[in-house]
């Protein structure tokens, strides 16, 4: 990854402060950012993505101290998790302070906050001097972008500025954990696994399904999400032209693509691979079901939601 350009960061920060939309890289995927204190700017995110108001946004900050300034409560478990995993791909959901507009949180009394582990994102946050609300920089329910080119293809001129920091490292969206109740609850799995979190705070719960029309406590809780334009399936169809993403063995009758056998490597290239295959005008993309172990749970979640009809 290239080092942040001071001129590009300064321009992006100026635009954020002016109420504009800036796409920027995090370690997970590219985000579509706006000043989290500016309700009108945040509304432009929802309009650009075609995102329903029931889906809240994650607020990115430059430090643990900046996160604490946005929440009404900061339990000891939050402190332990932040010190263990920040900067990094873990979002903590906590009761919010009134300075966060309701549009950011889908009207819920909680807000998701995290410190990203990406030099471009951190430089932007430090230069802008405001928290940045940012979902993934793509049309709602479509594949998240892991390069600036993916952002341009999906959103075009809906974005005022794109910071091109190269390809992202982690490759799928952050783990989301709620600390708003009596015990921690996993809202969205990611590459920081439940077992890794439990090593820090003990046993955690798993969120119950949320109805489609209701406000969600976290992004990524809809049955269908993260979907390529090409139908994604787990069983190889009997007809049509397709590709097969495999770990253990290839198959006949499809473009066979060997994926990394470790979870981190697989996640890092998954969306890039699906974006590329989308451009091949295939009839389907079939995927060998990944392992069921804890470190693969975020990948299994993304593939399952991408395949839902």
> d(Cα 210, Cα 225) in Å, to the nearest integer?
14
pLDDT tens-digit series, residues 47-78: 999 999 999 999 999 999 999 999 999 999 99
Coil, helix or strand for 169? coil
Q: Which of 120, 122, 130 is nearest to 162 (CA)?
A: 120
- Reading the chain (309 residues) residue by residue, the pLDDT tens digits are 678 999 999 999 999 999 999 999 999 999 999 999 999 999 999 999 999 999 999 999 999 999 999 999 999 999 999 999 999 999 999 999 999 999 999 999 999 999 999 999 999 999 999 999 999 999 999 999 999 999 999 999 999 999 999 999 999 999 999 999 999 999 999 999 999 999 999 999 998 877 777 888 898 887 778 889 999 999 999 999 999 999 999 998 899 999 999 999 999 999 999 999 999 999 999 999 999 999 999 999 999 999 966
Coil, helix or strand for 157? helix
pLDDT of residue 308: 65
pLDDT of residue 224: 79
- Beta strand 205-206 pairing with 185-188: parallel
> d(Cα 240, Cα 16) in Å, to the nearest integer?
46
Which residues lie below 8 Å from residue 157, measured CB to CB, with a gap of 6+? none
Q: Which domains does the chain have, with CATH numbers?
A: 6-206 (3.90.870.10), 232-307 (no CATH)
State the helix-helix crossing angle for 297-307 and 263-278, rounded to 10 degrees: 20
pLDDT of residue 103: 98
């Amino acid at each position: 990854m290239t080092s942040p350009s001071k001129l590009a960061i300064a321009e992006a920060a100026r635009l954020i402060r002016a109420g504009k939309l800036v796409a920027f890289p995090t370690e997970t995927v590219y985000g579509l950012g706006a000043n989290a204190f500016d309700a009108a700017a945040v509304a432009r995110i929802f309009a650009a993505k075609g995102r329903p108001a029931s889906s809240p946004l994650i607020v990115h900050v430059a430090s643990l101290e900046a996160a604490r300034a946005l929440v009404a409560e900061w339990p000891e478990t939050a402190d332990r998790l932040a010190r263990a995993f920040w900067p990094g791909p873990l979002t903590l959901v906590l009761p919010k302070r009134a300075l966060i507009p309701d549009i950011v949180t889908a009207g819920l009394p909680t807000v998701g906050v995290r410190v990203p582990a990406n030099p471009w994102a951190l430089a932007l946050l430090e230069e802008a001097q405001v928290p940045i609300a940012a979902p993934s920089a793509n049309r709602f329910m479509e594949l998240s972008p892991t390069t600036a080119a993916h952002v341009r293809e999906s959103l075009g001129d809906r974005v005022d500025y794109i910071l091109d920091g190269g390809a992202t490292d982690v490759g799928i969206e952050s783990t989301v954990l709620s600390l708003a109740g009596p015990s921690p609850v996993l809202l969205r799995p990611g590459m920081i696994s439940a077992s890794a979190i439990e090593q820090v705070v003990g046993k955690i719960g798993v969120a119950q399904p949320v109805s489609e029309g209701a406000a969600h406590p976290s992004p990524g809780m809809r049955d269908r999400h993260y979907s390529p334009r090409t139908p994604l399936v787990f069983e190889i169809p009997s007809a049509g032209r397709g590709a097969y993403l495999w770990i253990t063995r290839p198959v006949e009758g499809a473009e066979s693509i060997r994926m990394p056998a470790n979870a981190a490597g697989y996640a890092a290239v998954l969306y890039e691979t699906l974006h590329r295959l989308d451009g091949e005008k295939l009839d389907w993309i079939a995927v060998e079901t990944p392992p069921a172990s804890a470190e693969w749970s975020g990948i299994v979640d993304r593939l399952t939601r991408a395949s839902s009809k």
